[in-house]
Every structure is written in C-alpha cells, then in structure tokens.
Structure 1
C-alpha cells in the first residue's frame, strides 16, 4: 500500500500544476491516474469520481487514447461496484476506439475486462470468447518482442489474463464436466509459465552468433572490455572509500548502467540479425495429451499448481488420468507457506518443534487433503506457482509420523514443456566422457590462514575483469551485513573434505578438482567443463531477488599473493558456460531460489545452468551450516555413485538416512535440497 500512497501523493501534487499551466491533456491523464490508484486501493467510489472528471476533458481534447483508457478503467471500476449496466456501457465504448487506434495491448486489456464482466453475469460462453480474443492478442504481441527480459516483463504484466482464462474454463467445467474444459485449463496453465525459459533453451542449442555481421562481434568485445574497465574503476573506489570521491563513484555507476543497457541492446540486435535466430522455430507449450505422452511415465504423478487471487487450482496428472481440484486463494496459501518456511530455516536448537509441525500440517492439508489417497505412484513431479516455489515439499507432513519424502521421490520443474525441450536436446549430444569437476573451499577473506601475510587491499594490479561490486550489491540486496567489503563470507571448512570424499567414490574415473586459491573464476570459465558428467560447486551462493542478474556463485576472492581478485560467477556468465553434464550440484545456500516473475516462475541460478546445458540441478532452499551440508553431500554421492541410484533416488535415500540419524534428523538439515529437471537416468 505504501507504493500506492506515494503515487497518490505525487498525482495530487501534479493535478493543481496541470491546471495552473492550462495543460488540459495532462490534467485528464493525471485525473485518470488518480482514478487508477484509488481503484488499486479498493476505493472505487473515489476512483469513479476522478475518472468521470477525466472523461469529458479527453473528449474535449479529442484525445482518443486517453478517452479509451478512461472508459476502460471506468468499466472495470463500475463492474467492481456491481453497477454492471454502467460497466458494460463504458467497456463497449472503449473497445472500438482501441481497435480503430490499433492499440493492441489496450484492446487486450479491455477484452479482459469484458470477459470478467460477462463472467460476473454468469455469461461464461461470451466471457470465454472475449478472453480468447484477449489471449490471442497477447500471444501475438509477445511473439514480436525479441528481448528475453522484455518478454518476461510483458508476460508478467498480462499474467492476470491467463488466470482469468483458467477461472472461466474451470467454471465451465463445473457446469459441464464432460466437455474437457479442465484439460483446456491445464493447457492454459502450461501456456502461462516458463515461456521465456523454453525459448532460451531452444536458442541455447542454435549458436545464434554464427553468421552475424563481424562488426557486431567487434562491438560485443568492445563493450565487454569497457564494462570490465568500469567495474575495475568502481572496485578501486569501493576498496579505498573516500567521501570526496562519492561523486566519481556515482558517475562510474551510471556509466556501468549505461554500458550494461547497451550490451543488452546489442544482444537483441544480434538476435534480430542472426540468420540462425530467424530460422528458429520456437516450440509451443504442451497440451495435456502431449504432457502425458512426452513427459510422464507410469511411475510418475504430476502436480501442477496455479495460485489465483480468488481461487487456486491443482491438476493431478498421470500417464492416463487427470483430475483438477479447487484450492484456497493465494493469500491463504502464502500465509501458511510463510509460517512453515520460516520455521524450517531457523536453527533447530532455537525453535518450537510443535509450531513447525502445526504449520506444516495445516499447509499439507490445504494442498493435498482432497486427493492424498489417489497418489499411488512412486514419484511426484511438482510444478509450483508463486509462494510454493519457496517450500521443500519433502518436509511436508503427509501421513501419520511421516513426511512426503517418506512416501515419494520428489522432482521439481519450471514447467512440463521445459523438460520436453531438455529431453529433445539431450538426444542430440554424446555422453560426457569424464566423471567430475569440483570447486571447493575457496578463499573468501583476507584473514584466511592460507594467506601467509596480511595482504593490502590497496593492490592496483588486479585483472580488469572484475565483478566484486556485483557481489557486494547482491549481498546488500539480500540483507546480509557487510563491513565495507565482500570479505565477510565465512570459510566453508568442511567443503574440501566433502569434495575429497566424493572423489573417492569415483575410484579410477577421471576427475578434476579446484581447491583453495584454485577454486577461482578463471578456472571456472577457462577450464573446459563440457567433458564432465557432474559439475559440483561447494561454495557460497548469493541470491538477489531485486536484481536476479546479480545472483551468482562466490569463488576465491584472493590469489596466493593476497591480491583481491574477481571471484564472482554471475548469472549471465553461467548462461555462457558450455556444459554437457548430466548433473550440476550447487552445494550452497539458497541456490534453489530466485526472483518470482508472474508467468515465468523463478529467475535464478537453476535456469542459468539449464540454459548452459545441464538437464538437472541439485540446489538448496536455505542456508545450512557447513558441516550439515557436507554430511548430506557425502551420503548423496555415495548412494548415487557406489549404489548406482539415479540422482532423484539418491536424493530421497540421503534425506531418509539423515531423517533417521539423531544428529541430522531435523528437516532443517536435509529438506532444503531439491532436484530440478530430469528424473530419468
């Protein structure tokens, strides 16, 4: 509400100014904006007052776009007030104006409002026609966008249309269960998630820079050099803080922002001019029958969730059946998720076990009570939505004295369609010939015992390719305490022992390990990791939900000479790794989280490694102590490598072993680890 109140304050300040200067069009725009803000605050009477003041001014100025916007908002407000005749009148006046102006996004928005109006009138067939027209326009608009970031942002802005589409179909299903509306709703749900990821996975296999203008390649190299140089300037200013140089610091930051924007624009121009990109045929999301045929097997049940403001749904899908269940509104689910996940992430010695059991039980009943007895397969594949991304389903109470992991193998997917793409691409590549590449026990602090002398942080001969400031910004954004430098990260003392134990399970297989100072960014980027079946990072991970591009993996920040070096493997650099691995393991805190974008899911490290070529990624949902992580990893690898279990089987077995060991029995130690992606070997 703070954001809306601030907007209200700004618009109230702007309104008298527009009147004083006699700018009638801006006055109408400000009045409409005030109406929209009041509507967002639920003050519909107040909203209608301002919108009705704006409408005659729009018409007086012959400002058609403003008139259509005001009419559309008036229709939505009156519908919310229950004045349905007025709502219909204004919405039907707005639509032809928007069509005449060829303002497609506005037309889709008005069609969505008309669909919602007809839904409230229980005219579901007409509502379906309107929402299908709105979705067609939305899909057409999205297809014309080249930038993945803009596609994601646009899709997030229209996600409510897909939710409305699902609601209308499910209401039709309730009235006529034999028409297949529930299967259509599932297909819409699949259409509404991870679309950009599906396209990025397709693009990753195409080498879109082949055949482009050499000048674009030169421009890309030049921009990378300028960005690296600016990052070095910023790092030097950061390491040697000087209040008199803060203006320079701001200038460098602004320069970096400009260069990064230019780099993203260049990548989009490469897409626009690439013959290979133009030839790409992006796959369409799968429908129900395709998911059953291409994704599921006889041992697997898919649980696909869709959370909505008024009602939520879960589709329970097997190889040959599908049922849909109504769940509570998203706010109710989110409250239970928050209580359970906060309890799980707390130190077991400092929290109330009964409180956690109660929170988990309430959430489990909310999600599973209607169909728990129907989950007869050995494996659950979960496509989450919203707050459900943040919980470990493995730890949810499920039956008397047991949790979900006691009964099932559990796998997570961004969407069913994304796995179909991954499988198709894996058919085209040869198995990696080598076993394991592992990074562990990096040097994070200048007081680390491995540094013989106390180094100076004023070294100026650092290499130009530096990301330390991105690391600091990410740490600051996620709320960690810092003392003016990134060097507050603790040493992971057990990670090297963990790594060495893992290597013993591989016996004579070919492995490569990077410990101490060698666990650095240069080795991560310059070493050819493509021949290795497993890539393991036993290091700190940083999740930045404000700016996902700043998320990454922290490798050594000092070299053997005590010089501060770039050790931050950022998300955009993970995208550039070339992997043919079967598994990436991120033995670090919160690597399974990300920024939750409506219609896209989590934007985070998992997506980066899938793009880079790994069909499955093992990640963590919260920070676990170093010893607990090492204990889990030793068990996981022993089960996978010595007992020949698949990764998902080894995950379940390791979690059960931990659960049955007194020291590690609390879900804090074992439930954070989740497998995302392929479950077949």
Structure 2
C-alpha cells in the first residue's frame, strides 16, 4: 500500500513538473533562482533537465541567463563542480553574442570564484586576472583582486596574497563597498596570520579595527559572522610571536567564545575553543587540552566547508600538547589524524599522492603538521632507538619536500620563496641526520644539496634557458625586472603608498606579459628543466684523486638532535661525521670572527685566537682520518649557516707550532655541487682578458681614499693587457659598459653591507639588486673591497651578498672578502694572485699560494689572518688561463717526426 502511494505521488510530481516546464517554455520565461529552488524541492535537477530547458528557449540571451541562474543555484547549495560547469557554459554564450558588458564581467568573476572553490587555483588565477584587468565593472575588478589574494594564500604565496588583498580593498574603499571591505579585510588578516613580517601583521590589525567600526549593531548584514571573524583574527594576530600580547589575544578569543554560545553556533564555538586552546598551549597551560578536546566534541557541523580544516588543526594542536607532555604515542596518533583529515586519506600514516599535494588548499597548515610529526618521530627514535622512526622521518621529509617544491614552482615573490626555504631547511636537517643514522650516505648528500642555494641555482638555470627567446622578448622582460627590483629597493626605506601601488601595478603587468609569452612560446616553458641535483656518485666521478669535498649542516638550538653533521667525499670513499657540542662551536665561531677582523697585536690575543681557531679545526674536521685525508689536498668547502662567514684556511692545526691549515691545504668554497655543475655549463664568450676598476677617491666624504688601489690594478694589468679605469672615470655606467665582456673583472673599491649592499664608484654606487639585471661573461670576478661576502643570511639558501649577485649575473667564480681589508696587504696579495693565475695555476692554487707567500714574507703581527685570510674563492677552481703545454707537445711531436724523416732520408741517400 505504501509502495503504491509513493508511485502515485511520483507520477503526480512528474505531471506537475511537465506542465510547469511547458508553461515556462511556452511563455519563453527563464527560470529564476527562486523558481529553481522550488523545483529542486520536488524533483532531482540533472544536466538532461537543464539542457532540455535551454533547448526550449529561442534566444541565446535567454539561454545565457538560464545557465547563469543554474550556476548560481548550485554554488548556493554547495555543488561547486556543477556551478563551475554551468558558469563556463554561460561564458560561451557571451562569446557567441560577442558581449563584453557588466553581466559578462560578473560572470567572468564568478567563474574565477568557482575554480577557486574547486581548488583549481591556477585556472582561477588565470580567470580572475582577466576579470581584474577589465574596466567594465569596477566592483568586480576589485573583488577579483581580493579573490586572487585568496588563491595565492591557498598556494602558500603569502606576500603576493597580502599585496592583492591590499590592492583590492583599496579599490573597494573608493567604491564605498562596505560589505566587501569587511569580508576581504578579514581574509587579509587570515593571510597575515601566516606571515612573519611584523609590518604585514600590524597592517592587518589596523584593517580589522577599521572595519570593526563599520559594524555597529545587530541589524548589520552578517553581524554575527563578521564580528566573530574580526575578533577571531585579532586573537590570532596577537598570539603570533612577532606581536605576542597574551591579554589582547585572550580578550578577543573569549569574546568569540561568548558570542558563539549566545548564538548557539556550534561550529564557531569549536573554532573559538581550538584557537583559545592553542593560545593556552603557547604559554604552557594545562587547561589547553580542555579547550582543544572541546573543539572536537562541539565540532558537529560536518557540512561546513571548513569542517575538515578545523578538525585537522584541532588534532595538530592536540598532538603538540601531547608532545609537550612527552606522551609521544598519543602525539603521533593525533598528528596522523590531522594529516589524514587534511589530505582526505583512507587510513592514518598513509602518504598523500602528488595530486593530493597539488590539490590541497591548506598547504600552510599541512606544513606545520608535517614539521610537528618529524619532531615527534625524532623524539620517539631518541627514546626507543628503533630505526622504524628514522624511516618515517625520511618519508615525512620527502612529503614536505614535494609540497615545498610545488609551492616554489608557483611562487614568484622572493620573500615568500625565502620564507619557504627557511621552513624546509629545518626539515632537511632532520632528514640529513636521520639518513646519517640509517647509514645512507647517498640520501644524506641529497638532503645536503637540497638545503644549499636552490633558488640561486634555479634562477641561473632559468636565466640560461631564457636566452633562447627572441631578443626583443628578453629585453622586454629585463625591463620589467629592472623596474620591479628598483621599486622593491625603494620600498625598503620608504612606506610610500604610491611606491607600493606602482610596485603592485608593474608586477601585475609583468605577470600578464609572462602569461602571454607562455602562450606564444609554450615549447620554451616546457623545455625549461628543473635543476637536477648532483648525486654522490656524480661527485665522485667528477673530482680527481687530489680533491676532497666537505659539506656541512649545522643544527640550531631549536632542533632536538644533539649533533650537527658533515659529509666528506673523496674519489674513492665518503665519510659521514657528526659535530658535537654545538654551543661550544658557536662560542668559538664568535671569538674567531671577532679576532679575525683586526691584527693580533699582543700575546693574549694570539693565544685566544689560536685556541678558538684550533678548537674549530678539531670540531669541523673531527677525526684523525679526516685530518689525514685533507693533508696536501684541494678541499672544496660547502658551508652552512654561520660557517659561510669564516675562512677555514686560517684554522690552527697545531697549537704547538701554530701552523695554519692553509700551509698544506688548498681551500675553496662552493654553494653546492649542484650549483657548480649548473653554473659551469653556462656558455661565456668574453672578448677581453681583463677589466680593472679603481675609483681611488670618492665624492662621498664618508669613504676614505684608497691610495694603493690604482697601483693594484695597474700592476695586475701589466700581466694581462686588458683595460683599466681609475679615478673619476669609474662610474656605475662605465663599469656596466666595460665589464660585461671581460674574462676577469677586478674591483678595487669600497663596498657596504647594510640592508642594501652596494659597491661604491667615484660619484655613484651599484646596488645589489642592479646586479640581478646585469649580464657578465666573467670566468672570475674579484671584489677587492671590504665585506663583499657579508650580507643577510637566509637559511637553506645562503647569504644575500655581492658575491651572490655576481654569480646571478653570470660569473663562473668570485673572490670576495669577509671583513674590512687592509689596502697595502690587499695590493700585495692581489698582485701575487694574478701572477700565479697568469702562470696557469688554478684559481684555488693561485689564491692560496699568494696567501702562503704573504705568510712567508711577513712576521709578528703582520702575519695575522686579518691581513691575508679575508679573501675567499667561491665557485669554479679551474685555471683562468689554460696552459699552452698541449701545443708545445704537439709541436714537439711534429718536430720529432720531421727529424725522424729527415734522418731516414739522409741515411737512404748515403746508401745510394
């Protein structure tokens, strides 16, 4: 009986629906969203029904409107895939009608939003940029800018996200669109919560206070949601370490809790509980677990779009709580649930696929969870000595590596790239040490390489490929880069809104330019290869029996491993080693650096120096086997962190004789072996052997006259027969003009290592950022100036200094200085260095032999490393001037053959 009634009811609905549809089609009326809602309550809406309705309509305009209404309906009811499908169909009708009106702009913006909702961020960015560039409907252009901010946040490009939000909100303010201003200011704050830039965080706080004043009473649309989000965001921002204020953060979180309870909003109550629990965890309060557990109990609204994110974050924080309490098994279980939820994995501790890594919109939170998991696994290994945890560390490091690789592929903002390199550097170091304990030297070397100068190596690789594009394209791209770098440089010292707007506009135009070039020359972008890391086996094959490579990884105080690591590589073997007592190493490094920067003028200073220099020698070459292997060898040092600021050649190998390491070892430096291989493959076509520059005197009164600098370059040029510029002839323009085609570039001048490193000329200066748009063909650049190898340290990447800038612009190797050099000693060193180069010595031999000669010819305080150890060689070590011995051998061979035939003919003639 029940079955009969149901069948009868269904027939009635179908008849009614048919009559209803016929009525609309006959009258040529288009179903509104309300009509569709009523219809959906009676019968399932599917593609056949929609297409049928569209086919009954005569005009393209009506069909376009119908598909628009269905796409909006599906988005309202959470069917994002259908919303996207019918939004795209709507756009095809705009093309058929050749319409570019206000409705088109709305439709385009919505399709961009639909792609965003489906986590198809690359496509969303393409559509939203198109919408943002249109000048048809300013409101939608502004909202598209803000949606681009949301896309870039999901992709992990925080700086770019913040910039797009700021630009979009600025446009919305001009339009006085209060509702959108409030919504996107809250989204800006959500992005700033992932930034470590205090200026961005403070800006977001200011935005929130401004929009809070817009919401005055409960009659305001979305009153609860906006008030909650504003206070929740303020709580988040005040809980960050850069702006940490426990009272303010607590005040805003508790306000969220009260408001959620009053309104019976259980999802938001869960969110407020989770955030408040996380705050309490930061101050090590036992009450934190109460609120974190409460966030799970109340989290019942599984249909909410952010349900999985909240669940994952709750479990991540619960894992951190148990980690703090040393309940490692519970911590591991919670973090696995967090990652399972984020990736929608079927089982805990299952690895996500590459597709899932690309698809996720929660890259920032997932990165935190992966880092937490590695720390838990590390502690479990230290507690149990069970190698299964080391293997799980390796697995987790590899997932993190893949995630960051995806993020860096999409990112163009240098600040975002450096931030992610900093994050992954900490993770690689866990991988390095886990591989060391597992006895996998290949894997240890792989992570060591990944942790060194990856961005620089990738940039050099990309620049090399870009040269294959037509000249006008290369020139236009260079023009964009110059404008961007110049404006970025200016914004370092200015908070001008006009400057920031100009920077945003030129970056936006540059991105549009690159998008258009990619469509015209797709084969070029497809052929651009990622940097292939050099393997341990590759290194062993490349080096000779007289060469040793040593790569280091220093763990900082936040790392729970008790040792830093290194790997020595020779032709026939590799030796992993540990560096213990990191605190002592840091102390010795500080003493060493301080004493290097001035002459050792008394016995006490000499004793202090010798003690610290010998201690570093024993720490960084920790076994007798390693010490023996480097004797009388060419040693390539790949340093890490603060080791990049010291000269290894000035270590004391024996406190009895006070012998320096350089006395029987040739030292050079490299960013990584992968960097060396990529950089050495670049084709360089210099036209002259030498270009020397010595301003001597400077218009800047703060810069002292360098009386011996002209003598330095004249002496060098006597051997090389290139060009020399001195005095007021040495300007930025004359340098850029004359240095670009020189085999050797030599600068004898002043340099600064402020926030903006510069090289000084007689009347002007060359900033570091300008080197990134200058091209040279140098086999060797010699920066005979103060502190040219000093700069801002970026973990996982290296020091942002003038040496790095010259590598970026094309140099094969660079000699740079670690402290303020002595003018007289420098002239002596450089003269001998070039004499050795001209004598066909390798760059490494030439510099080290010049230092040895200095030590031999001086005594007492003049032998202090201050005078001779500042200059270090980075990069390729091969001779700049190849020996002609091969030619001589060939000529000799020809002469011997000639002599043989001459003698033979003479003998034959005698017999005749």
TM-score tier after normalising by the smaller chain length: 0.7 to 0.9
| 8 Å contact from structure 1 (residues 156, 597) kept in 2 | yes
For residues 618 and 869 of structure 2, the distance between their equivalents in structure 1, rounded to whole angstroms, comes to 19
Aligned to 2:803: 606
Aligned to 1:110: 369
For residues 485 and 592 of structure 2, the distance between their equivalents in structure 1, rounded to whole angstroms, comes to 46
Instruction: Pick the aligned partner of 2:408 from 136, 142, 147.
Output: 142
The 1:44/1:297 distance shift into structure 2, 3 A limit, reads farther
Equivalent positions of 1:408-557 (< 5 A) are: 408-425=665-682, 428-430=683-685, 432-445=686-699, 487-506=701-720, 509=721, 511-525=722-736, 527-544=737-754, 547=755, 550-557=756-763
1:156 corresponds to 2:422: yes
Give the drift of 1:155.
Answer: 1.8
1:17 corresponds to 2:260: no
The 1:81/1:222 distance shift into structure 2, 3 A limit, reads closer
Deviates more, 1:297-306 or 1:70-79: 70-79
Give the drift of 1:586.
Answer: 0.2
Aligned to 2:323: 79
3-state secondary structure, aligned to 2:762: coil
Answer 1 or 2: higher relative contact order, Cα 8 Å, separation at least 6.
Answer: 1
Give the drift of 1:360.
Answer: 0.9
Q: What are the superposed Cα offsets for residues 452-491 of structure 1, whole Å, 9 maximum, x if unpaired?
A: xxxxxxxxxxxxxxxxxxxxxxxxxxxxxxxxxxx41222
Aligned residues: 590
For residues 388 and 71 of structure 1, the distance between their equivalents in structure 2, rounded to whole angstroms, comes to 38
Equivalent positions of 1:24-103 (< 5 A) are: 27-28=272-273, 30-31=275-276, 34-35=279-280, 37-38=282-283, 43=284, 63-100=307-344, 103=362
The 1:631/1:48 distance shift into structure 2, 3 A limit, reads farther
1:303 corresponds to 2:547: no
| 8 Å contact from structure 2 (residues 817, 870) kept in 1 | yes
For residues 592 and 481 of structure 2, the distance between their equivalents in structure 1, rounded to whole angstroms, comes to 49
| 8 Å contact from structure 2 (residues 273, 291) kept in 1 | no
Q: What are the superposed Cα offsets for residues 427-461 of structure 1, whole Å, 9 maximum, x if unpaired?
A: x444x231211111344236xxxxxxxxxxxxxxx
| 8 Å contact from structure 1 (residues 301, 377) kept in 2 | no
For residues 419 and 485 of structure 2, the distance between their equivalents in structure 1, rounded to whole angstroms, comes to 27
Aligned to 2:620: 367
Structure 1: 5+ residue stretches without partners: 174-180, 236-248, 447-486, 558-566
For residues 607 and 706 of structure 2, the distance between their equivalents in structure 1, rounded to whole angstroms, comes to 32
For residues 647 and 543 of structure 1, the distance between their equivalents in structure 2, rounded to whole angstroms, comes to 26
3-state secondary structure, aligned to 1:593: coil
The 1:640/1:600 distance shift into structure 2, 3 A limit, reads same
| 8 Å contact from structure 1 (residues 204, 612) kept in 2 | no
| 8 Å contact from structure 1 (residues 230, 256) kept in 2 | no
Q: What are the superposed Cα offsets for residues 232-289 of structure 1, whole Å, 9 maximum, x if unpaired?
A: xx99xxxxxxxxxxxxx966x4433444455556555555544334531122211111
Give the drift of 1:18.
Answer: 4.1
Query: What is the RMSD computed on CA atoms of the aligned residues?
Result: 3.4
3-state secondary structure, aligned to 1:534: strand
Q: What are the superposed Cα offsets for residues 3-24 of structure 1, whole Å, 9 maximum, x if unpaired?
A: 9996574243132134346565
Give the drift of 1:153.
Answer: 2.4
The 1:650/1:214 distance shift into structure 2, 3 A limit, reads closer
1:632 corresponds to 2:829: yes
Give the drift of 1:617.
Answer: 0.4
1:325 corresponds to 2:577: yes
For residues 378 and 364 of structure 1, the distance between their equivalents in structure 2, rounded to whole angstroms, comes to 16
Structure with bigger helix share is 2
3-state secondary structure, aligned to 2:739: coil
Instruction: Pick the aligned partner of 1:572 from 763, 769, 778.
Output: 769
1:669 corresponds to 2:867: yes
Give the drift of 1:36.
Answer: 6.4
3-state secondary structure, aligned to 1:169: helix
Instruction: Pick the aligned partner of 1:618 from 807, 812, 815.
Output: 815
The 1:15/1:312 distance shift into structure 2, 3 A limit, reads same
Which 4+ stretches in 1 moved above 6 angstroms? 3-6, 57-62, 212-216, 228-231
Q: What are the superposed Cα offsets for residues 96-151 of structure 1, whole Å, 9 maximum, x if unpaired?
A: 22113652443344244334433433333344333333333333333333445533
Equivalent positions of 1:120-131 (< 5 A) are: 120-121=379-380, 122=386, 123-124=388-389, 125-131=391-397
Q: What are the superposed Cα offsets for residues 321-376 of structure 1, whole Å, 9 maximum, x if unpaired?
A: 10100112644422221111111113433771111111111111111131212324
For residues 587 and 632 of structure 2, the distance between their equivalents in structure 1, rounded to whole angstroms, comes to 29
The 1:228/1:71 distance shift into structure 2, 3 A limit, reads closer
Aligned to 2:14: none
For residues 210 and 435 of structure 1, the distance between their equivalents in structure 2, rounded to whole angstroms, comes to 28
1:393 corresponds to 2:590: no
Aligned to 2:120: none
The 1:214/1:379 distance shift into structure 2, 3 A limit, reads closer
For residues 489 and 806 of structure 2, the distance between their equivalents in structure 1, rounded to whole angstroms, comes to 27
